[in-house]
Structure 1
Amino acid sequence: MHLLEEKAAVATGPAAGLRNFAQEHKSDAGYLDVAANGRGEEKGLLMLRALRRVPHAGPRVVEVGPGGGAAVAYLAAQLGGDTAPARGVRLTLIEAPGVVSRSLQAAMQQFARVGDCELRHGFAQDIAALLPEPVDVISASALMHEVYSYGGGYSGLHTMIRTLPRVLAPGGCFAYRDVYAVDGPTLHERVTQSYHSRAWLLFLRLFTPQYLAEGTHPYHHAEDELVARQNSRIVDVAALDPDTSAVISAPIGLFREIQRHFITFRDHVWRSGALGVVPELDGDLAADWIDFRGGHKRVHFRLDADAAWLPRPHRMMLPAMSEPYAGHRTIDSDIFDMVTDVALLAFLNAVESGDSTCRQVWETWLLREGRETYAYLTLDQLLTAFVEHSAAAGTDTVLLPVQAGDIDRVNRHYYNRFLKQLPNPLRDAKQLVLFANVPRADVAGMRAALDALAARCGKPSLARMYRAITKGDNS
């Protein structure tokens, strides 16, 4: 999602904006058209479900931050095959000024066959001005974590939640998709994890001090301190020895952040070609599954002769372990992970030693992803925040999931398989919630919503929600 970034630079001041946000890297065509253009079915699933609840013809739908248009293309395909929910859908896409994606343009042309589609440029935090009349459905992927990371932390997040009921029609829906946090009451719960992989230890040494110093995150309390031990002695995380196992105590949310960032870093380096491979990222070759639920597949790639920085044994290993296939090469994903784990270690060593090629790849990733906080709220906290702050919007409506199926989680099987190499892996997944803008006068709707929430939230949170709904504020 790319809407918030220039706005954040304005809202938080030039120095903070330059430090926290990289418009150029987030808007790069390769990132939009490839790296940020997957999971169309997952992104469009809640949109389609929301559309089926709109009782009138010509429903007005908004997608905030369409990126490469994966959800637009999915929705077009579904509406083209099922006329019941189509009924002349009017789709508005909101994207940041200057952000252009060829794949989005193609998706818009596809959607034009089943409904109206327009692209408006603006910033997510200005959505009330961009939508002159209430709409029926708003969909956003990664909107909330980007608001948190670049738009003022929790204050910006809560302001955005209070804005949504004002731009949604009563009974309208907000389809939310973001990174799943963790099971548990709070991200500040202290846990202990151990790390043995040299690549992970070196990543911890390079990334964690920078993230804690410069990222927008909630881990500022005394009890949030990260404590690392090697050979039973406390060591600074910036001085971790990658040749010695480490035992680290920290908030569980911080471990989730480190783990998630390692995954995005690994993918970025792979896609960059720095590890000597150019992956096949489109079509059937990108999803050549051996066991989908087990996360096991074949990886298709081409060798990149320009990765001259890699030591010769690493450049020889992938050709030796892979097989030719229709003009490129293929390799079992388990073997690929083992081979590239060694290459990642070499890459991180090269970053530390000042290799210009590797340093540029690292800095590009760090600018684009390294300061974002993904898992900033548990599900209980997320649902409570939406109820409390939407109830304070002054619309006499509240954002609530009204059915048990409106709250879902989609596991990342491929990444969870990869994370099994960690002694204490935290599940990687996407969190999906379909919020309805329920009028307070809709007693049946409110009761159904509270029943859905009761299975997901603790009693203290339910009490806070009830107070907000009945009093209309969160005081």
Structure 2
Amino acid sequence: MSVFATEHKSAPHYLDIAANTHGEEKGFLVVKALERLETRRPHVVEIGPGGGAAVGFLASRLREPRHGDGQVHLTLVEVPGVTSQALSRVVDEFNEVGSCELVHGLAQDLGSLLSRPADVVSASALVHEVYSYGGGYGGLHALIRILGSVIEPYGYFAYRDLFSVADRCLHERVTHAYDAPSWLRFLRMFTPRYLNHGKHSYHHIRDQVTARQDSRLVEVADLDVETCAVIGAPIGLFREIQRHYITFRDHVWRSGVLGFIPILDGELSAEWLDARTGHKLVHYILSSTEWLPRSCRDMLEALSEPYADHRTVDGDIFDLCTDLALDAFLAAAEQGDPVCERVWEEWSAREGRETYAYLTIDELITEFAVTSARANPSRPTVLLPSSAEDIVVRQRHYYNRYLTKRLANPLPDAKQLVLFRNIPVTDSRTLGEALGGVQESVGKHNLARVYAALNPGRG
């Protein structure tokens, strides 16, 4: 079992800044669930609150008159040793509109951590955390079985995670090409470490990564960053490489080591020139750095405009400058520059071994339904979305625009959000409506698995 990176996961610059974003996206399914409940004092549980973005969003919504005076009790479950100053502040805010308590423990031990059953359980990116650090698929199935037992009948589980590869087996072999130096350098630094030390499922003989440059086979660790590489691998591995590059890029941005720091949160982070195509204006501030080639910084400044106490630039130009600077950064890290190497190792220890997205919506719904239906024979319930409206995919237009410009074979970047309901198996009407609602998202073979789990011994 991999060791959870507690120190890096609770670092102030991570939890209080980098992981404390997208509160509305993290919390809107919880609000949706609360609006459906008729419970006077609902019990909401959030697993892994991080910096408290979702807690703050929920508090702001509960202040609105339309939510009535029914007080919500919120239990926050965080990994032992992980703390956040930002979370402490929003807990105080929440206590003005409800009641909130913080407990420490693992998601797999949820049954022993809660003082009473939950009406709503919420989590973001929990699947990859449990898979990477909590026993792989076995740990994931154990968590699903626990969820069905701690959520009240007709209660909800609100889940948000990274979008996987739609309608494709993640072990399906495909060929991708890379020619951007920053991506090639990242490939040779990240991929061997991830495959050797990460928790992943790419161990079959057909999962072997093959790389060719100038028509000759080369090891990924020996890629030439000046030569286009043609790489064959499972599509899921390419998904991991792509997603890790994006999180790595964000981490290096926030560190200030590149000489510029984009404003990634708040209103200035979403000043769109064309939201539909992901084209935006980037606001950034300059930071001092000694190693970055002056030409990178000069180019960015020459193409930017002053704005109050910072600068702005077209997002496409900013991305180009970032990749040039990232290539220089990675080269410096490879050569042992202490600052660049430290920033690289910080990110690698925190996220470089994780498997980010490995369940499609089809697989996610199926595994939760089948495992939960078999979990508690004395009180049989099944976790299923009530309707098609409870399955949402939100595109990351800015990242998709960037990926399309940099990669020959970009994979769509998005978040998938599913609101599961804990439906008693004996309620044939509600169950029938739910099964009808998921037919567009779940394939026939997986639907057959769900039906078999709901009717044990009748097949």
Alignment of 1:4-403 (within 5 A): 12=1, 16-17=2-3, 21-84=4-67, 87-305=70-288, 307-394=289-376, 395-403=379-387
Q: Which residues of structure 1 form unaligned runs of 5+?
A: 1-11
Whether 1:455 and 2:432 are equivalent positions in the alignment is no
Whether 1:468 and 2:453 are equivalent positions in the alignment is yes
**How much is the aligned-residue C-alpha RMSD, in angstroms?**
1.6
Q: Provide the C-alpha distance between the structure 1 equivalents of 2:457 and 2:341, rounded to a whole number of angstroms.
A: 52
Q: Counterpart amino acid of 1:466?
A: Y
8 Å CA contact 2:43, 2:73 repeated in 1: yes
Q: Counterpart amino acid of 2:421?
A: A
8 Å CA contact 1:62, 1:137 repeated in 2: yes
Q: Provide the C-alpha distance between the structure 2 equivalents of 1:468 and 1:200, rounded to a whole number of angstroms.
A: 44
8 Å CA contact 1:51, 1:85 repeated in 2: no
Q: What TM-score, normalized to structure 2?
A: 0.96
Q: Counterpart amino acid of 2:353?
A: R
- 1:287 Cα deviation after fit: 2.3
> Partner residue of 1:9?
none
Q: Provide the C-alpha distance between the structure 1 equivalents of 2:18 and 2:272, rounded to a whole number of angstroms.
A: 19
Q: Counterpart amino acid of 2:322?
A: T
> Partner residue of 1:8?
none
8 Å CA contact 1:392, 1:472 repeated in 2: no
Q: Provide the C-alpha distance between the structure 2 equivalents of 1:72 and 1:277, rounded to a whole number of angstroms.
A: 30
- 1:94 Cα deviation after fit: 1.4
Q: Provide the C-alpha distance between the structure 1 equivalents of 2:432 and 2:387, rounded to a whole number of angstroms.
A: 10
- 1:204 Cα deviation after fit: 0.7
8 Å CA contact 2:207, 2:233 repeated in 1: yes
Q: Provide the C-alpha distance between the structure 2 equivalents of 1:211 and 1:333, rounded to a whole number of angstroms.
A: 30
Q: How far does the alpha carbon of each residue in 1:62-106 deviate from its partner, in whole angstroms, 9 at most, with x for none?
A: 111111111111111112114336621111111223333222222
Q: Counterpart amino acid of 1:83?
A: R
- 1:318 Cα deviation after fit: 2.3
Secondary structure, aligned partner of 1:83: helix
- 1:409 Cα deviation after fit: 0.8
Q: Runs ≥4 in structure 1, deviation > 4 angstroms? A: none
Secondary structure, aligned partner of 1:163: helix
Q: Provide the C-alpha distance between the structure 1 equivalents of 2:320 and 2:232, rounded to a whole number of angstroms.
A: 27
Q: Which residues of structure 2 form unaligned runs of 5+?
A: none
Change (3 A) 1:282 1:433: closer
Q: Provide the C-alpha distance between the structure 2 equivalents of 1:120 and 1:85, rounded to a whole number of angstroms.
A: 27
Q: Provide the C-alpha distance between the structure 1 equivalents of 2:266 and 2:440, rounded to a whole number of angstroms.
A: 39
Q: Provide the C-alpha distance between the structure 2 equivalents of 1:144 and 1:215, rounded to a whole number of angstroms.
A: 15
Task: Pick which of 322-331 and 252-261 moved more.
Answer: 322-331
Q: Provide the C-alpha distance between the structure 1 equivalents of 2:222 and 2:299, rounded to a whole number of angstroms.
A: 30
- 1:472 Cα deviation after fit: 8.2
8 Å CA contact 2:79, 2:105 repeated in 1: yes
Whether 1:404 and 2:378 are equivalent positions in the alignment is no
Secondary structure, aligned partner of 1:299: strand
- 1:316 Cα deviation after fit: 2.2
8 Å CA contact 2:6, 2:81 repeated in 1: no
Whether 1:433 and 2:418 are equivalent positions in the alignment is yes
Task: Pick which of 93-102 and 459-468 moved more.
Answer: 93-102
Paired-residue identity, %: 58
8 Å CA contact 1:391, 1:472 repeated in 2: no
Q: Provide the C-alpha distance between the structure 1 equivalents of 2:401 and 2:328, rounded to a whole number of angstroms.
A: 23
8 Å CA contact 1:218, 1:376 repeated in 2: no
Change (3 A) 1:86 1:469: farther
Task: Pick which of 56-65 and 289-298 moved more.
Answer: 289-298
Q: Provide the C-alpha distance between the structure 2 equivalents of 1:340 and 1:355, rounded to a whole number of angstroms.
A: 19
> Partner residue of 1:442?
427
8 Å CA contact 1:187, 1:378 repeated in 2: no
Task: Pick which of 342-351 and 229-238 moved more.
Answer: 229-238
Secondary structure, aligned partner of 1:293: helix
- 1:263 Cα deviation after fit: 0.3
- 1:107 Cα deviation after fit: 1.8
- 1:416 Cα deviation after fit: 0.8
Q: Counterpart amino acid of 1:450?
A: L
Q: What TM-score, normalized to structure 1?
A: 0.93
